[in-house]
A = this chain, B = another copy of it.
Amino acid sequence: MANTEHSAAVAAFSERFGELFTTNLTLREQHAHTQTWLPNQPAEGVLFVTDKQMVVDAVKLCAQYHCPIIPFGTGTSLEGHINAPQGGICIDLSRMDQILHIHAEDLTAVVQPGVTREALNQALRHTGLFFPIDPGANASLGGMASTRASGTNAVRYGTMKDVVLSLEVVTAQGELIRTASRAKKTAAGYDLTRLFVGSEGTLGIITELSLKIFGRPEVIAGGVCAFPSVLAACNAVIMTIQAGIPVSRIELLDALQIQACNRYSKLTMVEQPTLFVEFHGSEASVTEQAEVFADIAAELGAAEFNWSSDQQELAQLWKARHNAFFAAQALRPGTRAYSSDACVPISRLAECVEATRQDLAASGMVATILGHVGDGNFHIILLVDLNNPAEVEQAEAVVARISQRAIAMEGTCTGEHGIGQGKQSYLQEELGATVDLMRRIKQALDPLNLMNPGKIFS
């Protein structure tokens, strides 16, 4: 990576930005940590930007020196998204963390990219409004937009593609542009908002987001329900969705994942495949939803479905769900937990998850299955000893089979984590010649290939 232009860029950044720029190795490595078996590939320096003009200046400097730029939110992405395989400068946006406007009357909020989902909800807590998209990590909204993130509420409220109204972006040329107005609907030209959503930092740097926010439901109720098998649980999900119950969360955790959560979060759930379910609405509506769900669950041999609208009890439940990744990690200390992600049409969910379960069992790996199953989206968490090459190889083969199985069922190799470095070959298998169109767009907007090179495609 010793590249004279990059070295000159580093010198120019030091000169220009002083203390806000660092070449400290530990910091650089932290900014390129990866949740996979992909190697850590640190950038050559990290710039902590504090406003959009600094982003413009940094991009222009990088363009001048042909130096790659790796945007960074909170670094919780799962496919090597923030690695710097070609060197370059990491642009850390976490200090651009201002909530600029809450337009309660329009149900919109305007935020800087470093605001986290929890910080936004904290700011909204007295307004009767909330922001629903909730990846397991407390990610930044700029990072979430860039990976097209979703989470447990997506089955009811959609993903980042549905809640971003408009973005302000610094292009690869260092221009500051706005993708759309703040109107709820638009037919004004190409949908650049949704082109940048999910572009993984490869087309520009998001410096501001206008987001939809939602009225907090009158009543929130929910509970857990244990099933005799993963198959039965998935069939309950399919029936729930097909019955049109407007469930706001419906999450699967397999028996091992429940065991992990019990240990990690000190709970006493029955250690069987389980659905975590939540309903939003009026008192009458949540009762109706819960009753129809209970009937479906009973039909599929589930234990009794106990639900409540006690907010503390529910909060404990969802905290355990959000900690599932760390709980799984603790099942096998010394290993790395790697989460893979697939999504299929809901009619294929049971078949796909069951085949995955059998595959994992046959492989003998320590692995849990969980996911946002209401959208046909599920994950496995593999606990891999990175010092054991045979195990890594076996894990890679499992991920390949999951991706290919989902694709074969008219689904996708990633419902929400994105492509990054890790899933490029599956993207190719899934979309073939379509990937060339993506490349042409990349080439048109970033002809020097400065913005997060080596991600989505190489």
A-side interface residues toward B, CB under 8 Å? 103, 105-108, 147-150, 154, 159, 161-162, 171, 175, 177-192, 194-195, 197-199, 215, 238, 241-242, 244, 282, 284-285, 288, 341, 343-347, 375-377, 406-407, 410-419, 423, 427, 430-435, 437-438, 440-441, 443-445, 456-457
Which chain B residue shows the least CB distance to A129?
Answer: B244
Complex: A244 Cα to B280 Cα, angstroms: 13
Residue of A175, A190, A414, A457 with most chain B CB atoms under a 10 A cut-off: A190
Contact between B441 and A345 (Cβ–Cβ < 8 Å)? no
Instruction: Report the nearest B residue to A181, measured CB to CB.
Output: B412
C-alpha spacing A388/B149, complex, angstroms? 54
CB–CB A188/B444 < 8 A? no
Instruction: Taking A106-B345, A154-B185, A183-B415 as given, write out 10 further A-B residue pairs in contact, using a Cβ cutoff of 8 Å, ordered by the A residue number.
Output: A148-B186, A161-B194, A185-B375, A185-B376, A188-B412, A188-B414, A189-B457, A190-B195, A191-B198, A284-B284
Q: Determine which of B194, B285, B435, B457 lies in contact with A191 in the assembled complex, contact meaning CB atoms within 8 Å.
A: B194
The answer for the CA separation of A427 and B345 in the assembled complex, in Å, is 37
Cβ of A345 and Cβ of B189 under 8 Å apart? no
Which residue, A106, A183, A188, has most C-beta atoms of chain B within 10 A? Answer: A188
Task: Report the copy number of this chain in the oligomer.
Answer: 2
What B residues does A149 contact at CB under 8 A?
187
**Does B184 lie within 8 Å of A375, measured CB to CB?**
yes
Contacts of A343 in B (CB 8 A): 181, 183-186
Q: Is B435's CB under 8 angstroms from A189's CB? A: yes
Shortest Cβ gap from A454 to chain B (Å): 14
Of chain B, the residue at the smallest CB distance from A372 is: B185
- Min C-beta distance of A134 to chain B, whole Å: 14
Q: Is the CB of B191 within 8 A of A345?
A: no
A345 CB to nearest chain B CB (Å)? 4
Contacts of A179 in B (CB 8 A): 431, 434
| Residue pair B345, A192 in contact (C-beta under 8 Å) | no
Nearest chain B residue, comparing its CB with the CB of A243: B215
Given the known A-B contacts A178-B434, A194-B195, A244-B215, are A185 and B159 also in contact in the complex, defined by CB atoms under 8 Å? yes
Q: How far is the CA of A149 from the CA of B185 in the complex (A)?
A: 10
Measured CB to CB, the nearest residue on chain B to A106 is B345
- The one of B148, B347, B431, B457 that contacts A187, using a Cβ cutoff of 8 Å: B148
Given A103-B345, A288-B282, verify A441-B183 contact (CB < 8 Å).
no
User: How far apart are A100's CB and chain B's nearest CB, in angstroms?
Assistant: 13
Q: Is the CB of B103 within 8 A of A347?
A: yes
> Contact at B108–A345, with CB atoms within 8 Å?
yes
Complex: A398 Cα to B118 Cα, angstroms = 45
